[in-house]
Amino acid sequence: MKKLQPTLWRSNWHIKLIVILALMMFASRFLSHTVRGQQSGVYTEAQAQRGASLYAKRCAACHGAQLTGGSSLPLVGARFMAKWGQGNHNVEELYFITRTQMPYGAAGTLTNSQYLEIVAYLLKANGYHAGATPLSSDAAALKKILIQPQGATTADLIETPADDSTKSATATGGTLRPTTAAPSQTELNAAQTNSSDWLLTNHDYAGQRFVGLKQITRQNVAALRPVAMYQAGDTNTFHTNPLVYRGVMYLTTADATIALDAATAQLKWRYDWRVKGKPGWPVQRGVAIKDGYVVRGTHDGYLIALDAATGKLLWDRAIVDMTKNEGGFTMPPLIYEDLIFIGPAGSELGVKGWIGAFRLQDGKEVWRFNTIPDDGEPGAETWGKTDARLKGGGSLWSPISLDTEQGLVYFAVANPAPDFYGEARPGANLYSNSLLALEARSGKLKWYYQVVPHDTHDWDLTQASPLFRTTVNGKTRKLVASVGKSGVLHVVDRDTHEKVYAVPVSSQLNTDVPLTTQGVRVCPGIQGGVLWNGPAFNPRTNMLYVNSVEWCGHFGVAKELRYVEGQFYMGGFARLDPVEEARGWVTAMDAATGQIQWRYKSNRQMVAAVTTTATDLVFTGELTGDFIVLDGRDGKVLYRFNTGGPINGGVITYAVDGKQYVAVMSGNATAFWQARPGSSTVIIFALP
């Protein structure tokens, strides 16, 4: 039998053919697996070159000259493939998102051919080959081109979690604890009267941003000088509001948490987070501190705690399900007793928002409240369609305030999704664009106030502070201020839950006009009103001071609603007026009546924090890079200093060894603000 086998092989040509074909099929599959779906000839070189030129003019400011990211996410490499290259997206979807939503604030301002050229350039940058046939707008053809790594394995291109040696105590089952135990809850409760430290994002639980320091006055403020500076080496957006405790300043960048000497800006420690999950927006607004813990969220959905004295990682915990396209964290957390309060950002991604309370010792969840209700929960009936809430938005991205007397947490819920296509979600859409008050210990809803029912303009509610008391018509009332991108500041009674007054702080135009597919010009535009920094309250002047943006634009509704997993779910377009027409305001109003007392006008949008003092000064900053000090009584400019970069984060004042300082955060603003570039820098000012 063995002797017959060679003869059988030589004489049976059809067997040879079957074997050869089988080997060819195996080789084809092997090469296909090795190349990981590499496509050839999907665009022309000339098409990609034109796309490169267009990209440099219209896209690079946000996504980086080399497509590696800036104020927006990268369009090449690991983070791009983590978002687009998991085998569930194709080029038709990339083309759709690009032409309907980009450039940000100027969607639809290029021709379809130009958008295709930009997509061709993106494909080239991600390893796809040029050919003789241009990339076309034919949907069927574009759907056949999957977005996936080219010429490399997925493992080579997509970031993986850190190994066991870098895991925190929680991940490995340990119980690491801080080396110190301060500040205490007693100190946090007394933050409002503490003029040396800055213990919470907005100074105190009430978020008043008032400091009882008196060294810097109207008479000597002109003598202020920069005395120290720290550069964090980060060119992402710099929104952080720093904290100061016993002469140490704590601040954040997109991935770094930093402790500085608050008088000299000398580095004490720095911790750089290694991204473990699906990357999100590289925006970070600060930490919370208590009992030796420094706590922050990460853009890939983790809650982490560091040792305040050393910067050592004590625990980390993934608390956002990024596989469900929930956004990561951009907001600063708030700590009260043994609870950390925080919620994810990302309404535009079609998330279903929530806020949660997590245990300070290890990050374990204690309770969670759905800002977009589940079936059977109060408010679910306000969405009209049964599936509208699944991608309903309602995220969080701004500071939390807290009433320690009643144990209530106050926070602002962002816009519903899709942003502009209201037909998809008929009804008031609770609890989007609402001020909510929850019981801190249980998460039970006590009351709410919806500022913009059924929002179709992306007018997030962004602020739920300050909490304050003042005399209204001869009666002392407990009030809360709430404002957002709609540009109207509402003051609500915390006992009766009734509106006391509402005052526009940005121009109002066509706010009730239904959107059309052609577009309607509206004020405020998509970046109008009040953003991530809210009002300050001075009990001496009995005034509220708030920065706002004056920037109108066009809103349009899509002809057809479409959802692309993991991408912006807008249902229309927004186009901003030319930036030369944009302005900013500081508005001062009587806290009892809402009557405007004075306004300061900037030639750029105003988004920086506002702080006021016992000498009736107002500290803030401009996108021009100017740190300014205003007279809180009449708005007169008393001091101006250009920091070299846009100011769109914290501006705080505190004391070290009895000397008053002012710290200003100067650094990049998101590119659509069209401000000059800057690097994340802390500049500390003091009198000689």
DSSP 130: B
The answer on pLDDT for 73 being more than 70 is: yes
**Alpha-carbon dihedral sign for residues 146, 151, 154, 157:** negative
Q: What class has domain 45-149?
A: mainly alpha
Residue 74 vs residue 265, higher pLDDT: 265
Among 11-25, 45-59, 131-145, 390-404, name the one with the lowest average pLDDT: 11-25
C-beta separation of 676 from 645 below 8 A: yes
Question: Mean of the pLDDT values across residues 264-268?
Answer: 98
Sign of CA dihedral 127, 132, 136, 138: negative
Contacts of 259 by beta carbon, 8 Å cutoff, 6+ apart: 248, 249, 250, 267, 268, 269, 270, 294, 308, 311
CATH for 181-686, options being 3.90.180.10, 3.30.360.10, 2.140.10.10, 1.10.3720.10:
2.140.10.10
User: In 494-552, at which residue ranges do the beta strands (DSSP E only) sit?
Assistant: 499-504, 520-522, 536-538, 543-550
Measured CA to CA, the distance from residue 593 to residue 543 in angstroms comes to 10
What was the pLDDT predicted at 39? 52
Residue ranges of the chain that CATH labels 1.10.760.10: 45-149
Place of tokens 């920065």: 547
Q: Quote the CA–CA distance of 203 and 342 in Å, as a whole number.
A: 17
User: What is the torsion angle, in degrees rounded to the nearest 10, for the CA atoms of residue 187, residue 188, residue 190 and residue 195?
Assistant: 90
Model confidence pLDDT, tens digit, residues 126-147:
999 999 999 999 999 999 999 9
Mean pLDDT of 196-217: 98
Residues 6+ apart with CB under 8 A from 43: 120, 123, 124, 128, 130, 131, 134, 135
What is residue 670's DSSP assignment?
P
Nearest to 326 by CA among 83, 566, 87, 69: 566
pLDDT of residue 280: 83
Q: What is the pLDDT of residue 27?
A: 44
pLDDT band of residue 322 (cuts 50, 70, 90) is: low
DSSP letter, residue 222 = G
- Could you tell me what percent of the chain has a pLDDT over 70? 90
Q: Is 659 helix (H, G, I), strand (E, B) or coil?
A: strand
Nearest alpha carbon to residue 61 among 676, 628, 680: 676
Residue 156 confidence (pLDDT) above 80: no
pLDDT at 154 over 60: no
Q: What does the pLDDT read at residue 634?
A: 98
DSSP 544-601: EEEEEEE--EEEEE-SS----TTS---SEEEEEPPGGG-EEEEEEEETTT--EEEEEE
Distance of alpha carbon 29 from the chain centroid: 43
Reference 116, options 146, 90, 94, 132; nearest CA is: 94
Q: Which residues contact 592 (CB under 8 A, 6 or more apart)?
A: 470, 471, 472, 542
Predicted confidence (pLDDT) per residue in 557-591, tens digit:
999 999 998 889 999 999 999 999 999 999 999 99
- How would residue 157 be classed by pLDDT, with cut points 50, 70 and 90? very low
Question: Token pair for residue 398?
Answer: 């701004």
Quickly state the pLDDT bin for 153 (edges 50, 70, 90): very low
Alpha-carbon span 163 to 301, nearest angstrom: 18
Buried b / exposed e over 93-103, threshold 16 CB at 10 Å, is bbbbbbbbbbb
Q: Which of 8-12, 282-286, 615-619 has the highest mean pLDDT?
A: 615-619
Residues of the chain with CATH 2.140.10.10: 181-686
Mind listing the pLDDT tens digit for each residue in 436-459? 999 999 999 999 999 999 999 999
Q: What is the pLDDT of residue 591?
A: 98
Query: 118-128 pLDDT, tens per residue?
Result: 999 999 999 99
